[in-house]
Structure 1
């Protein structure tokens, strides 16, 4: 799969969906940070371990440990391209992150892969979504029945 690949119509969503590793301390902390700063609720969130997250990874032929997912506009974004797309969606000062596009994608994604491969060793694991507040856990889209991917 490429970093930005069209996905089938059944995976089309009304709002962007950020799928993250819910047991990774780095990933959950990052999702918590995004939720705190996305006060307008532009983005939905799901853990990779949820039925919805597992279904998306299977459907796209990706290993959960390989990358997070950002589903937006009928496309799946991963690695650095996903972060740049997220910065565009969130707008405002988030767009400053787009400066990172001056770094070649191969290098950006290599760096992403290095951190991803060592994230549990460097940052640790927590119980599923334990690092999210109660309100933040309430923002999670967790199963296929509650989210028809529209």
Structure 2
């Protein structure tokens, strides 16, 4: 792996592996991205934490998952929409929510992100992918 893993093999989703919602989303992406477009990195891991820091986000207190592609990182609802757009059908259709203005989408996203542990729970250990999924985890 090079010094810049975001430059290889497609976008990287950086997520909170301690969050039940975030971990469920990671497993969902792996299941519905049959083309293998996305790779995943937890913010608790070395690569995920470095990517957060690179884009000015504290990995100990993130307010968003990010989707990193090359030198660009999408955050908030834009990141979620980018993930949906990259999934297989029928999930790809959810990207149509782009028609909802960001000023409406992002506050909802931020509220859920801020309250994710209270609403969905927190794992006592980081989410562990299956052996088949592990090749897409950084």
Q: Same fold by TM (over 0.5)? A: yes
Supply the distance in 2 between the matched residues of 1:91 and 1:39 (Cα, whole angstroms): 7
**Shift, 1:138, TM fit:** 4.4
2:92 aligned with 1:95 = yes
1:24-35 equivalences under 5 Å are: 24-35=19-30
2:16 aligned with 1:18 = no
**Shift, 1:12, TM fit:** 2.6
Which residue number in structure 1 is paired with residue 117 of structure 2? 120
Supply the distance in 2 between the matched residues of 1:117 and 1:42 (Cα, whole angstroms): 28
Equivalent residue in structure 2 for 1:133, among 126, 130, 133: 130
Which residue number in structure 2 is paired with residue 53 of structure 1? 48
5+ residue gaps, structure 1, are 1-8, 142-150
Provide, for residues 31-77 of structure 1, a one-character-per-residue CA deviation record: whole Å limited to 9, x for no partner.
Answer: 10111111221111111110001111111111332111101243111
The answer on whether the counterparts of 1:129 and 1:137 sit within 8 Å (CA) in structure 2 is no
Provide, for residues 72-130 of structure 1, a one-character-per-residue CA deviation record: whole Å limited to 9, x for no partner.
Answer: 24311111111222233335433311221222101101000100111001111111114
Q: Structure 2 vs 1, CA of residues 60 and 45 (structure 1 numbering), >3 Å: closer, same or farther? A: same
Which residue number in structure 2 is paired with residue 146 of structure 1? none
* Normalised TM-score (structure 1): 0.78
SS of 2:113 mapped into structure 1: helix
5+ residue gaps, structure 2, are none
The answer on whether the counterparts of 1:16 and 1:70 sit within 8 Å (CA) in structure 2 is yes
